Structure 1
Amino acid sequence: MTQSNWQRTKIVCTLGPATDRPGVIERLIEAGMDVARINTSHGDHADHARRIRQVRQAAHALGQPVALLMDLPGPKFRLGDLPEGFCKLEEGTMVTLAEADDDAKADSVSATANCCLLPVRNRGLLQALRTGEPVFLADGSVELSVESVAANPARAVCGVRIGGTVRSGSGINLPECAIDMLIPTDEDRRHLAFAVSQEAEWVGVSFVQSAGDLARVRACFPPGPSLKPLLMAKIEKRRALEDLDAIVEASDGVMVARGDLGVETNLAEIPIVQKRIISVANAQGRPVVTATQMLESMVEHEHPTRAEATDVANAVLDGTDAVMLSAETAIGDFPVAAVRFLQRVLIATEEVYGARMAQDWMNSAETASPANDAGNALSFAACLLAARLGARAIIAPVQSMEMALSVARFRPQAPLVMVADSVRLYRSLALVRGISPLVVNVRDDGADPGSCLAQAREWLFAHGLAQEDDPAVLLSTSGATGDKVDTLQTVRLKG
């Protein structure tokens, strides 16, 4: 590994049946997975706990930091269980949406026949539908039109306008239907308790529409110094875009959730919306993940399309911290190949544009950082100094995510080697662009910059990112300003 092919942008992989095969999780980590995502909309806690154990064990064995991101289902409407797990809907046919109960399951037809009845998990959805309204399934890939509704039993007869395949648990979007959605739901609260018990580093909050939604989720965590997950606001509703700045400020990170966002808003505007969300997150120093259909064709094919490769590269150029694979790794036929290709695109893009991107971000840092924040000013100075010296790394012992982000927000070209004071912070930092996290050596004094420098030097040499006597920049805190950076020095990496 050299600095030219060191990967700054991180990779998030969704776990599922495809990753349950022996050795797959280990191979995903070796291929470049930085964050393992659990989608609580599918599966049960027993399945999730088993996969989490596998990730923790594999990451420890391989000596790699892997964060855990647990997505809450939120107030999303979904199909119930289909008899064979999936169903093909043909354009021009009629289907009936009905409450997911035993009768609905019995009436359903097999996936090989004309699937005339689709179970729905939420009765309120059926009661809210009106004739003529569109209904989108599976991230908008299938479109229905409501022809008639009945109250008892609650059912809706729909015509299939755009056909396709739907699966058990496929999402349902109603962009023209007014339904109040309160976050968190009772189900979200149950999953939040599970996330805390599993010591998840990140929790994805679905269908956020205001900063208040995030405040209510935080209120669900137990009081005191317990291990509370960081909150990632998933931007997937039109109303979220209206309150975007406040939502980003109230969050610990942001996700551009293009699946539902592409249904809830004008699909033609998604590239523009993506750039806007990433820009706001960058300006506020929040990590941002770009998600949905990055390499969708690799669910069934070993090689992606040219357009998908370009989409990944453009997300990097937009300023994303991480790119996410969903079905590609959860249920796809080629999960490891998808991660390997994703990494190839990230490295190729950063190799050509990395220096230019770093310079552009430094040039715009005046508007991206509060002018009266001494910690940010010193972090900016460190990044500027590293660029002018050709430093091989910026090294810092860190005690909090805030301290690490005070440097990472300036997106320097040099690797950020952050020596975390806890395993939890070490894993959490795996999501942030440009950061190579290490965990403090328990044999040393974690607060001692000299010990952190020695540990970082060893890692840089081992990965071919630096050589004897190369320059580096060392940031630390004296303790006089809490956990804020207040000390900057240049050093030589000596063995």
Structure 2
Amino acid sequence: MTPHSWQRTKIVCTLGPATDHPGIIEQLIGCGMDVARVNASHGDHADHSRRIERVRQAANALGQPVAILIDLPGPKFRIGDLPDDFRKLAEGEIVRLIAEVSLVKEEGEGAEERNRLLPVRDPELLQALRPGESVFLADGSIELCVRTATAVSVRCEVIIGGIVRSGSGINVPESVLNELVPTDDDRRHLAFAVAHEIEWVGVSFVQSAGDLARVRACLPSGAGAQPLLMAKIEKRHALADLEGIVEASDGVMVARGDLGVETDLAEIPVVQKRIISVANARGRPVVTATQMLESMVEREHPTRAEATDVANAVLDGTDAVMLSAETAIGQFPVAAVRFLARVLTATEKGYSLRMAHDRMRATDMPNSPDKPPSALSFAACQLAARLSARAIIVPAHSMAAVLAIARFRPQAPLVVVAGSIRLYRSLALVRGVSPLLSTASGAGGTGLQACLVQAREWLISQGLAEPDDQVVLVSASGSACEQPDTLRTVRLSRVESLDG
């Protein structure tokens, strides 16, 4: 295993042309990349397969757990093809949104009337719009207001003008777009994710827990064959059902791009804190995304505000921070990850102990919104803190067993000896967790000892423990018990004499 500095908060990097250059993937992993993200909205399956295989090979060669996250496109509404590829809209102008396929029927219109037409690639959008609603184009830079609407044509007034281009995104914060997730394209990408044994799938434009249920119904039966679902919170209506969405998900993403268009931009910091808080309370891993180090797409050094933004996401309680264009198309992908890791390390050094104490107190409060915490998991974190144990070690076969402990944000490393390759990789996203792939063959005393020896070797090799240090062990009492039910302290020098 290649040693690199241990940090609690994880790093997600988006793959793209900038990561295709020889040696870049290896450097990203070496600098701290824990999750490689594939954006299914760009490229084709051949591109995705090639990049995924490169990540798998590099991670195996370096001995590092790296999860793959594939983002589904979702029902992203876009402007169709425009003459000259763009159109300038003036304040007060009246335009008509029509289905792109209907443009041919408008050939009889005069040139002036045709110039007012804005083709829309998804006719479902036209059916959802109502008079008085706002429509935003081009990442929110252009605002329209619906004046009249039919199932085939929507008449709008331009409130804030600007230049709209072919393929520009359309946001409709006030419309409820029922049961559009998953799209047919999403289903195709889901099949790809299953075939390539992807660990995480990001579900875009989730509005309700029902959206996740429909996506999950597309997956094969059997927990071992299913990727974990990450709900991307980027719609205003998702905030109304936030608790239900988080409960129905396996993880959450604060997708600040579209969310910043769908909600008041001034409220994004508060919304981010709320989403992270709800995810933390329910033990769901949460990723903070979009423009973390946006200036590094073109510049080698980030701004002070960006460094502060990353640090604040850590202090909010995020499990991971994500780079998008910075690594996908940026000029300095490795430098971006290296700087991101520096900010995470500096922030954790100053605040991780306080964060652990705050999380334990918040969970222990009588009026906490949390479900009753697992007594064993809570006790393990308390015991580790009081003894200043160097680690909490957990042989595990399920994500739930690990998240039950990780949700309390222990100060000590949570070393998980995973019983499967899928779990080993999936856990790379979870804050404070250091996954190891189990080399033990048994589940009884011999297997437990092997897990402890493996964890001890890793801790010492990373400089996180000395041979005579104490650790807390959370384990199952026997092969018939999948969930941990036993808690004990172990001195690393006496692992071989442990009575399983």
Cα offset, 1:76, TM superposition: 1.5
Compared with structure 1, are the counterparts of its residues 238 and 153 closer, same or farther at alpha carbon in structure 2 (3 Å cutoff)?
closer
> Which residue does 2:284 correspond to in 1?
286
Query: Counterparts in 2 of 1:412-451, with a 5 A limit?
Result: 412-441=410-439, 444-445=441-442, 448-451=447-450
Question: What secondary structure, in the 3-state scheme, does the structure 2 residue paired with 1:364 have?
Answer: helix
- Counterpart of 1:300, as a letter, is E
Question: What secondary structure, in the 3-state scheme, does the structure 1 residue paired with 2:13 have?
Answer: strand
- Counterpart of 1:46, as a letter, is A
Cα offset, 1:336, TM superposition: 1.4
Question: What secondary structure, in the 3-state scheme, does the structure 2 residue paired with 1:494 have?
Answer: helix
172-181 vs 51-60, greater mean Cα deviation: 172-181
Question: What secondary structure, in the 3-state scheme, does the structure 2 residue paired with 1:407 have?
Answer: helix
Cα offset, 1:100, TM superposition: 5.6
Give the Cα separation in 2 of the matches to 1:299 and 1:152: 41
> Which residue does 1:112 correspond to in 2?
none
Cα offset, 1:260, TM superposition: 1.4
How many residue pairs get aligned? The number is 477
Give the Cα separation in 2 of the matches to 1:124 and 1:265: 22
> Which residue does 1:39 correspond to in 2?
39
Give the Cα separation in 2 of the matches to 1:136 and 1:400: 43
> Which residue does 1:397 correspond to in 2?
395
> Which residue does 1:302 correspond to in 2?
300
> Which residue does 1:377 correspond to in 2?
375
Cα offset, 1:71, TM superposition: 1.1
Q: Is the 8 A contact 1:42 1:169 kept in 2?
A: no
Give the Cα separation in 2 of the matches to 1:52 and 1:308: 29
Give the Cα separation in 2 of the matches to 1:165 and 1:32: 38
Cα offset, 1:174, TM superposition: 2.0
Compared with structure 1, are the counterparts of its residues 201 and 88 closer, same or farther at alpha carbon in structure 2 (3 Å cutoff)?
farther
Cα offset, 1:446, TM superposition: 5.6
Compared with structure 1, are the counterparts of its residues 237 and 419 closer, same or farther at alpha carbon in structure 2 (3 Å cutoff)?
same
Compared with structure 1, are the counterparts of its residues 165 and 345 closer, same or farther at alpha carbon in structure 2 (3 Å cutoff)?
farther
> Which residue does 1:455 correspond to in 2?
454
Cα offset, 1:147, TM superposition: 9.1
Cα offset, 1:156, TM superposition: 7.5
Question: What secondary structure, in the 3-state scheme, does the structure 1 residue paired with 2:465 have?
Answer: coil
- Counterpart of 1:143, as a letter, is I
Match of 1:364 among 348, 362, 365: 362
Compared with structure 1, are the counterparts of its residues 224 and 467 closer, same or farther at alpha carbon in structure 2 (3 Å cutoff)?
closer
Cα offset, 1:202, TM superposition: 0.8
Question: What secondary structure, in the 3-state scheme, does the structure 2 residue paired with 1:349 have?
Answer: helix
Q: Is the 8 A contact 1:137 1:143 kept in 2?
A: yes
Compared with structure 1, are the counterparts of its residues 162 and 296 closer, same or farther at alpha carbon in structure 2 (3 Å cutoff)?
farther
Cα offset, 1:454, TM superposition: 0.4
> Which residue does 2:329 correspond to in 1?
331
> Which residue does 2:109 correspond to in 1?
none
- Counterpart of 1:250, as a letter, is A
Give the Cα separation in 2 of the matches to 1:417 and 1:364: 24
Q: Is the 8 A contact 2:282 2:371 kept in 1?
A: no
Q: Residues 168-226 of structure 1, C-alpha deviation per residue, up to 9 Å, x if partnerless?
A: 75532122455445221211111111110111111111121221211111111123465
> Which residue does 1:411 correspond to in 2?
409
Q: Percent identity?
A: 67
Compared with structure 1, are the counterparts of its residues 152 and 222 closer, same or farther at alpha carbon in structure 2 (3 Å cutoff)?
closer
> Which residue does 1:125 correspond to in 2?
125
Cα offset, 1:352, TM superposition: 0.3
Cα offset, 1:134, TM superposition: 4.5
Query: Counterparts in 2 of 1:135-284, with a 5 A limit?
Result: 135-140=135-140, 142-145=141-144, 161=160, 163=162, 170-177=168-175, 179-224=177-222, 227-284=225-282
Compared with structure 1, are the counterparts of its residues 88 and 64 closer, same or farther at alpha carbon in structure 2 (3 Å cutoff)?
farther
Q: Residues 68-122 of structure 1, C-alpha deviation per residue, up to 9 Å, x if partnerless?
A: 11111111213457999x9797987989977667999xxxxxxxxxx99986432
Question: What secondary structure, in the 3-state scheme, does the structure 1 residue paired with 2:61 have?
Answer: helix
407-416 vs 205-214, greater mean Cα deviation: 205-214
> Which residue does 1:65 correspond to in 2?
65
> Which residue does 2:12 correspond to in 1?
12
Give the Cα separation in 1 of the matches to 2:121 and 2:340: 35
> Which residue does 1:107 correspond to in 2?
none
Q: Residues 387-435 of structure 1, C-alpha deviation per residue, up to 9 Å, x if partnerless?
A: 1111111111000000111111111000010000011000000000000
26-35 vs 128-137, greater mean Cα deviation: 128-137
Query: Counterparts in 2 of 1:72-91, with a 5 A limit?
Result: 72-79=72-79
- Counterpart of 1:272, as a letter, is V
Give the Cα separation in 2 of the matches to 1:244 and 1:457: 40
> Which residue does 1:27 correspond to in 2?
27
Give the Cα separation in 2 of the matches to 1:90 and 1:55: 44
Compared with structure 1, are the counterparts of its residues 313 and 226 closer, same or farther at alpha carbon in structure 2 (3 Å cutoff)?
closer
Cα offset, 1:277, TM superposition: 0.9
Give the Cα separation in 1 of the matches to 2:86 and 2:295: 19
Q: Is the 8 A contact 2:229 2:250 kept in 1?
A: yes
Q: Is the 8 A contact 1:129 1:149 kept in 2?
A: no
Which 5+ residue runs of structure 1 have no aligned equivalent?
105-114
Q: Residues 113-157 of structure 1, C-alpha deviation per residue, up to 9 Å, x if partnerless?
A: xx99986432333566678864434533x2143699999997978
Q: Is the 8 A contact 1:98 1:156 kept in 2?
A: no
Q: Is the 8 A contact 1:77 1:125 kept in 2?
A: yes
Q: Is the 8 A contact 1:19 1:330 kept in 2?
A: yes
Larger Rg: 2
Q: TM-score, normalised by structure 1?
A: 0.87
Compared with structure 1, are the counterparts of its residues 89 and 456 closer, same or farther at alpha carbon in structure 2 (3 Å cutoff)?
farther
Give the Cα separation in 1 of the matches to 2:291 and 2:163: 16
Give the Cα separation in 2 of the matches to 1:339 and 1:93: 45
Question: What secondary structure, in the 3-state scheme, does the structure 1 residue paired with 2:56 have?
Answer: helix
Give the Cα separation in 1 of the matches to 2:207 and 2:482: 32
Question: What secondary structure, in the 3-state scheme, does the structure 2 residue paired with 1:247 have?
Answer: helix
Q: Is the 8 A contact 2:65 2:424 kept in 1?
A: yes
Give the Cα separation in 2 of the matches to 1:465 and 1:417: 11
Compared with structure 1, are the counterparts of its residues 150 and 385 closer, same or farther at alpha carbon in structure 2 (3 Å cutoff)?
closer
Give the Cα separation in 2 of the matches to 1:481 and 1:363: 34
Q: Is the 8 A contact 2:134 2:174 kept in 1?
A: yes
Which 5+ residue runs of structure 2 have no aligned equivalent?
105-114, 495-500
Give the Cα separation in 2 of the matches to 1:265 and 1:379: 37
> Which residue does 1:493 correspond to in 2?
492
Q: Is the 8 A contact 1:12 1:324 kept in 2?
A: yes
RMSD (CA atoms): 3.3
